[in-house]
A and B are shown apart, each in its own frame.
Chain A
Amino acid sequence: MTLLHLAVLAPFLMAIVVPFLYRYLRQIHTGWFVLLLPVLLFAYLIQFLPSVANGESIMETMAWVPSLGINFTVYVDGLGLLFALLITGIGALVVLYSIYYLSKKTEALNNFYVYLLMFMGAMLGVVLADNLIVLYVFWELTSLASSLLIGYWFHREKSRYGAQKSMLITVFGGFAMLAGFSLLYVMAGTFSIRELIAQADVIAGHALFLPAMLLVLLGAFTKSAQFPFHIWLPDAMEAPTPVSAYLHSATMVKAGIYLVARLTPVFAGGAEWFWIVSGFGLFTLIWGSYSAIKQTDLKSILAFSTVSQLGLIMCLLGIGSSAVHFGYGSPESELYLIATLTAVFHLINHATFKGCLFMVVGIVDHETGTRDIRKLGGLMTFMPVTFTLAVVGSLSMAGLPPFNGFLSKEMFFTAVLRAAQLDIFNMETWGLLFPVIAWVASVFTFIYSMILLFKTFTGKYQPEKLDKKPHEAPVGMLVSPVILGSLVIILGFFPNVLSHTLLKPAMVSILPMLLETIDHFGVHIYMWHGFNAELMMTIGVVAAGTVLYRVMFKGESIYERLRQTDPLNHIYDSALVGLIKGSIAITRVQMTGLLRDYFAYMSVFMILLLGYATYRYQALAIDMESVAPISTYVWILAIVFILSTLSVPFINHRLTAIIAVGVIGFLLALLFVVFRAPDLALTQLLVETVMVVLFLLCFYHLPELRKESFKPIFKWTNVIISVAVGAIVTLIAFGSLAAGHHLNFEPISTYFIENSYTLAGGKNMVNVILVDFRGLDTVLEVLVLAIAALGVVTMVKLRMTGREDV
């Protein structure tokens, strides 16, 4: 446990305290306490900047499940630090903004900040973990926390819908990713990302390489809202605006990008990675930007814009991965390094201008009561500061000088132009698509940026359509967007501030060996780079965009002609309905309400599974030679046992049946005594006693035992099933005995017999196993029991009274 581990876990610890702060210090907005944490974390993390800039990395390991190779390893390198700084830095600004956005009188602040802190901690865990399983745990936590945040206003149906959607899609991807991680473990025998990178050659030659890559990418694409999984992101806009600014511009959706960047050294170099990553990225770019111009809701515009910008970054990472193909240090690879550099740079830029814009939209929503661009207009005079921020953000998003978006847009053009000249992976034929699609998507980007800016702040002011009289936001609410807006300008004029401190270390993480082989690779970003093809493309974007905006968005008629919802939503919705219908149908067949049927299903399944397994592995063997002789009293016990078991089905009186079952239980205890297992015998005796009491109590509630009559055919199937179960269990017992004898297995108990006293200091082996060697099992078993007991309480005490819906 080091300070670094504590830093990752600090948000969770803070989340425990928040409800108490909320309850006992009501007069102070809970956000002020929460604000301290990201600020402190940011200050702590920024200390690593100098050493990381020198190419060093910090690693701290804490054992978690060392026997399975799962360790909580915190690893700080360029890429991790960049993300961690974004998470804590933007996190601090978002918390500050939320203090003014969410009223302390009407909102359930404790829930909000607990979810937000949970999310922050989970994100930090994702970007700083070196172990894939730890990464996965935090990854799913981000899904969970974000869906809680999206559904924060849970009384709205759309919020719940959005939360469910994001949860279903991202958790589905997460599961796929877990499978991919498992395959990676199969190939390389480690969960550590750094060790995986070291074994990249082994993995690349393995048969499971492609399945593992596809599964991992599925996780990354669902999280980063790549086509066709992007449909959850617009619905996630039902969350409060600070959440949108945080989750959907700066952090959560970038987790997928982080994963792709992080695993580039493992997977890159082949054509599949290049084509899948850049292809999906490119398509998402154009699909998202086209969808954005159809929207009338400001937040929906931003949502689709985020989708398209994420596609842009993804595409760049794909193009950049071709550097691996050429080999580090070769002259071609340096050309494609620019793509990776742009990806990292645009990641930062996007976080600044999109965060700023989300906050601007939040202010507009907060002060006017609507986000519909058909109702808004002419707000420029009422909100001068907000307007200025919107100008900065939108122009940066559109890629105009002198803002940082311009720089990364130009570099993006450079990258796609270079990509078109690639002569690998069939790029000779398809390469031209890259700059063309990029240019068209940029035109769309320009148009929606202009819609966002002009439809809201210029044009006719329509007070009759607004709920509130608009005025400028309070100062506190403006602080965060002003900081982000200034960053947009500062990074525009002085982009090289970040070059050596953040950009270069991050690139070294994505393309390791870079620092060793081409140390002279400098990062220099300039605003002015001459009259070249990129600048011409930008001029073309502005010209085409302006014309299209003028012609098409004259009135509102365009929105009536275009369908605003994404057609893919329909597929999702019908799939969801189909899923529910299908599960209802299966449940109807399976859940007949008759205990006999359930037992029949389970037994038949067991017979088939075990029967197949014994057949498949030819485990059918009866070896009577090694069997110990059976003494007389065991014979007697066994006969009584069998007789009392057989008598149960023929008893018609319930009390007698209970007694007969009790006899079986006590006989079992006796068998344990005979075979010298006092612990088991004691447990069995006590459990049996408690069971009898339970039976007696339940007896009162049970209905009269009905004499049930079935058709003879039913009885015969039952007989067949029960005989088959008995036969297969007996066969397995014999088979395993013979197999153990044949293979000369060492019994599992030897280890415990030898070590229980020396390692755990206990002479009772059973107990030592329960509390020490297999303590986790015990805890989880007891946990299951506790859940069962609580289930009993809920079912009995909180019984539904009327015709309530579940």
Chain B
Amino acid sequence: MRVNNVMLYTITRVVVFIILSFSIYLFFAGHHNPGGGFIGGLMTAAALLLLYLSFDLKTIKQIIPFNYTWMIAIGLLLSLGTGVASMLLGYPFLTQFFDYFDLPFLGETELATAVLFDVGIYLTVVGITLLSILTIGEDR
């Protein structure tokens, strides 16, 4: 049975980008406003899931050729790496640092190693969600 899904496809194309940009906003907002790695990751996963649901798995796999297993591994390594890095500098495991820098265009900005840690969490969450859902979804 073929269903004409023009509406769904068109709306998905627009909405996915809105959700994705919102997820990136959420991720960076995390330090001062609601958001952060976990929520940003879930939001991104939700956006990608919408893609997978409206189009079929094969098409999306060609467009986004991520290996989610690797994504989990890289995410975990990144999170643990910031912890180990502080150890190498003689601080306890997982000590985070932050400072304010005067950057061009952005003005005075706060840079924190916690963001790197959060990137790791973000990647892991996206990887975990999509890996488990797609694995179950692909199972026939």
A575 within 8 Å of B (CB atoms)? no
Task: Compute how far the CA of A698 lies from the CA of B133 in the bound complex, rounded to whole angstroms.
Answer: 9
Task: Compute how far the CA of A783 lies from the CA of B118 in the bound complex, rounded to whole angstroms.
Answer: 14
What 0/1 pattern do residues 34 to 49 of B give for CB contact below 8 A with A? 1111110011011001
B63-98 residues with Cβ-Cβ distance < 8 A to A are 69, 72, 75-76, 79-80, 83, 87-94, 96, 98
B105-135 residues with Cβ-Cβ distance < 8 A to A are 110, 112, 114, 117-118, 121, 124-125, 127-129, 131-133, 135
A767 within 8 Å of B (CB atoms)? yes
Q: Are A683 and B42 in contact (CB under 8 A)?
A: yes
Q: Are B42 and A687 in contact (CB under 8 A)?
A: yes
Please name the residue on chain A nearest to B123 by beta carbon: A782
Q: Interface with B: A47-55, A537-545, A769-777, which one?
A: A769-777
Please name the residue on chain B nearest to A678 by beta carbon: B34
What 0/1 pattern do residues 653 to 695 of A give for CB contact below 8 A with B? 0000000000000000000000000110011001101100110
Q: Are A701 and B139 in contact (CB under 8 A)?
A: yes
How many chain A residues touch B (CB < 8 A): the figure is 45
Q: Which residues of B contact A782 (CB under 8 A)?
A: 75-76, 79, 121, 124-125, 128
Q: Are B133 and A690 in contact (CB under 8 A)?
A: yes
Which of B38, B76, B90 is the one whose CB lies under 8 Å from A1?
A: B90
Please name the residue on chain B nearest to A797 by beta carbon: B135
Q: Are A1 and B96 in contact (CB under 8 A)?
A: no
Which of A64, A760, A771, A793 is the one whose CB lies under 8 Å from B36?
A: A771
Task: Compute how far the CA of A796 lies from the CA of B38 in the bound complex, rounded to whole angstroms.
Answer: 26
Closest Cβ–Cβ distance, residue A42 to chain B (whole Å): 25
Q: Are B96 and A760 in contact (CB under 8 A)?
A: yes
Which of A766, A767, A771, A776 is the one whose CB lies under 8 Å from B93?
A: A776
B60 within 8 Å of A (CB atoms)? no
Counting chain A CB atoms within 10 Å of each CB, the highest count among B34, B42, B43, B98 belongs to B34
Q: Are A762 and B32 in contact (CB under 8 A)?
A: yes
Q: Are A63 and B91 in contact (CB under 8 A)?
A: yes
Known A-B contacts A683-B38, A764-B33; the reply to A775 vs B92 at CB < 8 A is no
Q: Are A786 and B136 in contact (CB under 8 A)?
A: no
Q: Are B114 and A760 in contact (CB under 8 A)?
A: yes
Q: Are B136 and A796 in contact (CB under 8 A)?
A: yes
Task: Compute how far the CA of A92 lies from the CA of B134 in the bound complex, rounded to whole angstroms.
Answer: 50
Q: Which residues of B contact A767 (CB under 8 A)?
A: 30-31, 35-36
B15 within 8 Å of A (CB atoms)? no
What 0/1 pattern do residues 248 to 288 of A give for CB contact below 8 A with B? 00000000000000000000000000000000000000000
Known A-B contacts A761-B31, A771-B117, A782-B124; the reply to A792 vs B131 at CB < 8 A is yes
A788 within 8 Å of B (CB atoms)? yes
Closest Cβ–Cβ distance, residue B115 to chain A (whole Å): 8
Closest Cβ–Cβ distance, residue A787 to chain B (whole Å): 10
Q: Which residues of B contact A763 (CB under 8 A)?
A: 31-33
Which of A760, A772, A789 is the one whose CB lies under 8 Å from B72?
A: A789
Q: Which residues of B contact A729 (CB under 8 A)?
A: none
Q: Are A689 and B46 in contact (CB under 8 A)?
A: yes
Q: Are B133 and A786 in contact (CB under 8 A)?
A: no
Please name the residue on chain A nearest to B36 by beta carbon: A767
B18 within 8 Å of A (CB atoms)? no
A381 within 8 Å of B (CB atoms)? no
Which of A686, A698, A768, A779 is the one whose CB lies under 8 Å from B46?
A: A686
A165-195 residues with Cβ-Cβ distance < 8 A to B are none
Q: Are B139 and A679 in contact (CB under 8 A)?
A: no
Q: Are B42 and A697 in contact (CB under 8 A)?
A: no
Q: Are A66 and B92 in contact (CB under 8 A)?
A: yes
Q: Are B92 and A789 in contact (CB under 8 A)?
A: no
Please name the residue on chain A nearest to B114 by beta carbon: A771
Closest Cβ–Cβ distance, residue B13 to chain A (whole Å): 19
Which of A1, A697, A761, A775 is the one whose CB lies under 8 Å from B136?
A: A697
Q: Which residues of B contact A785 (CB under 8 A)?
A: 124-125, 128
Show the binding face of B for A, using Cβ within 8 Å.
26, 29-39, 42-43, 45-46, 49, 53, 69, 72, 75-76, 79-80, 83, 87-94, 96, 98, 110, 112, 114, 117-118, 121, 124-125, 127-129, 131-133, 135-137, 139
Show the binding face of A for B, using Cβ within 8 Å.
1, 62-66, 678-679, 682-683, 686-687, 689-690, 693-694, 697-698, 701, 760-764, 766-768, 770-772, 775-776, 778-779, 782-783, 785-786, 788-790, 792-793, 796-797
> 8 closest pairs, A vs B, by CB?
A686-B42, A763-B32, A761-B98, A678-B34, A767-B36, A762-B31, A789-B128, A775-B94
